[in-house]
């Protein structure tokens, strides 16, 4: 029997084997992503520009394109011990159900109270805020996983945590709010009347259900106008991809034990952090010409930033207060249709992932309809036992499709996907799917044109 057939259902690394440094794929990229620009001057941002908004150490990480490895501080490694290393699971029951010769693995990041991978970065950001002597941090949350993760991290380090939660999510997921408050966070539905930008949004449209971009604007305003506070963000930024590299480093080490290596690597992509993290060490092999796994990013057909967006400079928020990033974007004013239930609703994509996609290293982006996503989630739940987050189920959908292709062709490919979280707070969406009221809405070109019309005019001689 080869080592490959001898793989246990779950592979756990030991505490000693867990990574001591994060991996920064930027240091290896063939083409650097275009610089982040100051929203007023359109000049590349400097450390000084970013310091009023972010913690000092995180500013350095944000701009770091030199160091491949960044040491993980001991306090963060201690916290990671509570829920890491996370298991790498061989999805044998899914393979059996699909009758595929493919070998399917998933890296499971849902084994903590926040229910997602977001805690990996939340604890790092809270640590640096505490180390700098801050009173607290502000942030936004959409579906609520990031807000929960940050609440946990701030609770641990005794920092004040102010969360602006997209109004429609706050209404749909009251229990999320309660979890965050239990960890000591202060949760405000956004738009709110506590900021200038929130008041303006409400005046423009009193019935607005809010958006992630708008919640970001409020959180940034709240941070810069309060002494001792900084703003933190759970995805998109380079620093977040650095922290999330623990996912990929652990997955790679676990696979290496059994001489396994992915032919296909699949991740759902909202702002790009879990995929960026899972992919990073494998991308390093690809960039070094050692291996050529196929990378696939999966996004909702209702929020198709990579498959139908523009590669352009855009604001990271609706209020147009954040710096400009060159990324695949639907325009900062884009808001997915209200019947969209599957998460991944951000208008843009990580500049790192965007550049890798533009250059053909991230091979493919695929958009999937939400009913097919929930169908995949249901199958996965039945055979593998875990109720996946709808976001994660995007990756499951494409994993199943790729495994079925292997059944047709007889190829024994190794597929690795990121199971980013659990779906216990997404039961309203599951209910919609179960009772047949869930609909797919794919934006028309005219819908998208409205978002593109708001793109800032930035001359970018590349
Ligand atoms: C936030 C989230 C995502 C998407 O965010 P990325 O930054 O693209 O990883 C995916 N899955 C879960 C469970 C999430 O909470």
Q: If you average pLDDT over residues 145-172, what whole number do you get? A: 95
In 3D, which of 451, 399, 443 has the Cα closest to residue 100? 399
Residue 418 Cβ inside 6 Å of ligand 1? The answer reads no
Residue 61 Cβ inside 6 Å of ligand 1? The answer reads no
Each residue of 372-412: pLDDT tens digit?
999 999 999 999 999 999 999 999 999 999 999 999 999 99
Residue 114 Cβ inside 6 Å of ligand 1? The answer reads no
Q: If you average pLDDT over residues 292-309, what whole number do you get? A: 97
Residue 392 Cβ inside 6 Å of ligand 1? The answer reads yes
For the chain, give the percent of residues with pLDDT over 70.
98
**Distant-in-sequence, close-in-space partners of 385: CB < 8 Å, separation ≥ 6:** 93
Q: Pocket of ligand 1, candidates 246, 268, 397, 429: which has the most ligand atoms within 8 Å of its Cβ, to mutate?
A: 268
Count other C-beta atoms under 10 Å from residue 274's C-beta. Answer: 31
pTM for the model: 0.96
Residue 271 Cβ inside 6 Å of ligand 1? The answer reads yes
Residue 305 Cβ inside 6 Å of ligand 1? The answer reads no
Query: Residue 1 has what pLDDT?
Result: 45
Each residue of 58-79: pLDDT tens digit?
999 999 999 999 999 999 999 9
Q: Whose CA is nearest to atom 7 of ligand 1?
A: 273
Each residue of 122-153: pLDDT tens digit?
999 999 999 999 999 999 998 899 999 999 99
Q: Where are the domains of the chain?
A: 10-20+73-115+238-452
Residue 268 Cβ inside 6 Å of ligand 1? The answer reads yes
- Which pairs count as long-range contacts for 362-366, CB under 8 Å and 24+ apart, including other chains? 362/279, 362/283, 362/295, 362/297, 363/294, 363/295, 363/296, 364/294, 364/295, 364/296, 364/297, 365/269, 365/296, 365/297, 365/298, 365/299, 365/306, 365/307, 366/296, 366/297, 366/298, 366/299, 366/307, 366/398
In 3D, which of 250, 337, 248, 327 has the Cα closest to residue 286? 248
Residue 339 main-chain phi, psi, to 5 deg: -85, 5
Point out which residues pair with 264 in neighbouring strands. 294, 415
What's the rounded Cα separation, in Å, for the pair 125 and 58?
A: 7
Measured in Å, residue 20 CA sits from the centre of ligand 1 at: 24
Query: Residue 2 has what pLDDT?
Result: 53
Each residue of 220-263: pLDDT tens digit?
999 999 999 999 999 999 999 999 999 999 999 999 998 999 99
Give residue 3's pLDDT band: very low, low, confident or very high (50, 70, 90). Answer: low
Q: Whose CA is nearest to atom 5 of ligand 1?
A: 270
Each residue of 172-223: pLDDT tens digit?
888 999 999 999 999 999 999 999 999 999 999 999 988 887 898 899 999 9
Q: Whose CA is nearest to atom 14 of ligand 1?
A: 116
pLDDT of 115 above 70: yes
Query: Residue 212 has what pLDDT?
Result: 80
For the chain, give the percent of residues with pLDDT over 90.
86
Measured in Å, residue 141 CA sits from the centre of ligand 1 at: 11
Residue 267 Cβ inside 6 Å of ligand 1? The answer reads no
> Which atom, in ligand 1's list, is nearest to the CA of 392?
11
- What is the third-level CATH fold of 10-20+73-115+238-452? Rossmann fold (3.40.50)
C-alpha to C-alpha distances, 137 to 46, 133, 346, nearest whole angstrom: 21, 11, 21
Residue 318 Cβ inside 6 Å of ligand 1? The answer reads no
pLDDT of 47 above 90: yes
Give residue 107's pLDDT band: very low, low, confident or very high (50, 70, 90). Answer: very high
Please say whether the dihedral angle defined by the alpha carbons of residues 261, 265, 267 and 272, taken in this order, is positive or negative: positive
What's the rounded Cα separation, in Å, for the pair 456 and 322?
A: 12
Q: What's the farthest any 2 CA atoms get from each other in the chain?
A: 68
What is the rounded average pLDDT for all residues in the chain? 94
C-alpha to C-alpha distances, 136 to 128, 231, 327, nearest whole angstrom: 11, 9, 30
> Which atom, in ligand 1's list, is nearest to the CA of 276?
9
What's the rounded Cα separation, in Å, for the pair 298 and 103?
A: 20
């Amino acid at each position: 029997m080869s080592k490959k057939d001898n793989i246990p259902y779950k592979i756990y690394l030991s505490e000693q084997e867990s990574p001591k440094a994060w991996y920064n794929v930027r240091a290896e990229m063939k083409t650097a992503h275009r610089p982040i620009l100051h929203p007023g001057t359109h000049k590349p941002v400097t450390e000084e520009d970013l310091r009023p908004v972010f913690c000092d150490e995180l500013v350095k990480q944000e701009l770091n394109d030199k160091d491949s490895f960044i040491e993980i501080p001991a306090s963060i490694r201690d916290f990671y011990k509570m829920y890491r290393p996370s298991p790498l699971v061989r999805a044998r029951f899914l393979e059996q159900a699909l009758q595929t010769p493919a070998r399917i693995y998933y890296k499971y990041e849902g084994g903590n109270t926040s229910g997602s991978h977001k805690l990996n970065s939340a604890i790092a950001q809270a640590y640096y805020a505490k180390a700098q002597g801050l009173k607290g941090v502000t942030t936004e949350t959409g579906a609520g996983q990031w807000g929960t993760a940050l609440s946990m991290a701030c609770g641990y380090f005794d920092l004040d945590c102010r969360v602006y939660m997209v109004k429609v999510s706050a209404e749909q997921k009251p229990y999320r709010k309660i979890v965050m408050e239990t960890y000591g966070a202060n949760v405000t539905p956004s738009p709110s009347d506590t900021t200038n930008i929130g008041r303006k949004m409400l005046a423009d449209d009193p019935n607005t259900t809010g958006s992630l971009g708008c919640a970001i604007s409020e959180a940034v305003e709240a941070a810069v106008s309060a002494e001792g506070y900084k703003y933190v963000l759970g995805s998109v930024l380079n620093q977040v991809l650095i922290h999330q590299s623990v996912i990929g480093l652990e997955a790679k080490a676990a696979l290496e034990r059994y001489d396994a290596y992915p032919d296909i690597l699949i991740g759902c992509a909202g702002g790009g952090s879990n995929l960026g993290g899972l992919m990073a060490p494998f991308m390093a092999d690809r960039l070094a010409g050692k291996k050529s796994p196929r990378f696939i990013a999966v996004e909702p057909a209702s929020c198709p930033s990579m498959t139908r967006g523009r590669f352009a400079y855009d604001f990271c928020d609706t209020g147009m207060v954040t710096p400009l990033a060159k990324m695949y974007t639907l325009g900062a004013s884009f808001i997915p249709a209200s019947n969209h239930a599957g998460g991944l609703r951000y208008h843009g994509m990580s500049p790192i992932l965007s550049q890798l996609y533009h250059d053909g290293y991230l091979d493919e982006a695929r958009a999937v309809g939400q009913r097919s996503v929930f169908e995949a989630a249901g199958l996965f739940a039945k055979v593998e036992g875990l109720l996946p987050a709808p976001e994660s189920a995007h990756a499951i959908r494409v994993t199943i499709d790729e495994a079925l292709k292997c059944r047709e062709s007889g190829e024994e490919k190794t597929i690795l996907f990121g199971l980013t979280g659990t779906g216990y707070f997404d039961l309203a969406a599951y209910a919609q799917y179960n009772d047949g009221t869930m609909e797919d809405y794919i934006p028309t070109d005219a819908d998208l044109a409205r978002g593109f019309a708001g793109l800032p005019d930035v001359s970018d001689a590349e």
